[in-house]
Structure 1
Amino acid sequence: MSPATAVASAATKALPQASRVFDVAFTSDAACVSEARRITRDFLGLWNVKGELAENIVLAVSELVTNAVEHGIGDLGLQVRYPDDELRIEVTDDNPAPAELRSADDEDVSGRGLFLVAVLARKWGVSEDGKTTWCVFRVPPRRP
């Protein structure tokens, strides 16, 4: 079991069953991106968030975590909260320079991550201290 999985598992056991939140810490390494996607997908399944919305949320997590790995400083954290009809993703690192939306040329192999997040999410932003990039998705109520 990886350290990130152990933290996510411990957090899940410590929270009441009705809580829809997880918080995971990662060492900044490219391998943590796939781990963040897997953990997010697993929790979305537990919370009955499925289909295209779930895939968009996982993609946003992937892009935000990748951005933190590539441009952040130190370890990073991922928190996902789903208390009501909105799901909020926050990725934190120690770099005070805020993430910025930029344009990428057709030939560029990277640089589109925040653009994708901006298109997919209801809203996104950066904390005042520049260390946390977040986005919010609306989750419509599921019919029984």
Structure 2
Amino acid sequence: MRIDMLRVAEMRRLTRNHLVEEGLSCFADDAVLVVSELVTNAIQHSHGREVTLTLSLCNGCLRINVHDGVRSHRSTPGRPCNEDEHGRGLLLVQAIAGARRGSWGVSDDGASTWCELALAMS
């Protein structure tokens, strides 16, 4: 479990550093939160298998793709109760994508989850 927490922290750090280097530090907080949620889900659902994070800039969007290689059903945001400690990650991703005029989804085979965030502020 500690190793998984360190993996998530490292992916967050790499994401923030990359966006700062690209002059996109104003998007870093939202992107880091999305990365944290998607990577955590991937580690949990793949039971610690290799997880790959890809960040790409294309057509005015930041695309975050997390691949765990495990084919599964397509994830959907849960409906956690107030007392639940888990189950809000995809709701957060959905909310951030909406606020940043983006979108999110899952590959047809369920092995990757992605989120796109528009880089233009308006």
Q: TM-score range by the shorter chain?
A: 0.7 to 0.9
Query: Where do residues 4-15 of structure 1 align in structure 2 (5 Å cutoff)?
Result: none
Q: Deviations over 1:41-74 (max 9, x none)?
A: 00000011123x3201110000000001111252
- Number of the residue aligned with 1:5: none
- Number of the residue aligned with 1:80: 55
Q: Is the 8 A contact 1:30 1:69 kept in 2?
A: no
Greater C-alpha Rg: 1
Structure 1, unaligned runs of 5 or more: 1-27
- Number of the residue aligned with 2:32: 58
Task: Return the offset for 1:35.
Answer: 0.3
Q: Is the 8 A contact 2:38 2:113 kept in 1?
A: yes
Name the CA distance, whole Å, in 2 between partners of 1:39 and 1:99.
25
Aligned CA-pair RMSD: 1.5
Query: Where do residues 1-144 of structure 1 align in structure 2 (5 Å cutoff)?
Result: 29-51=4-26, 53-73=27-47, 74-97=49-72, 98-121=74-97, 122-140=102-120
Counterpart of 1:67, as a letter, is N
Paired-residue identity, % = 39
Name the CA distance, whole Å, in 2 between partners of 1:35 and 1:116.
20
Runs of 4+ in 1 over 3 A off after TM superposition: none
Name the CA distance, whole Å, in 1 between partners of 2:119 and 2:68.
27
Task: Return the offset for 1:31.
Answer: 1.6
Structure 2, unaligned runs of 5 or more: none
TM-score, length of structure 2 as denominator length: 0.86
Task: Return the offset for 1:76.
Answer: 0.7
* Paired residue total: 113
Task: Return the offset for 1:103.
Answer: 1.1
SS of equivalent residue, structure 1 residue 95 = coil
TM-score, length of structure 1 as denominator length: 0.74
Name the CA distance, whole Å, in 1 between partners of 2:110 and 2:24.
29
Name the CA distance, whole Å, in 1 between partners of 2:60 and 2:110.
26
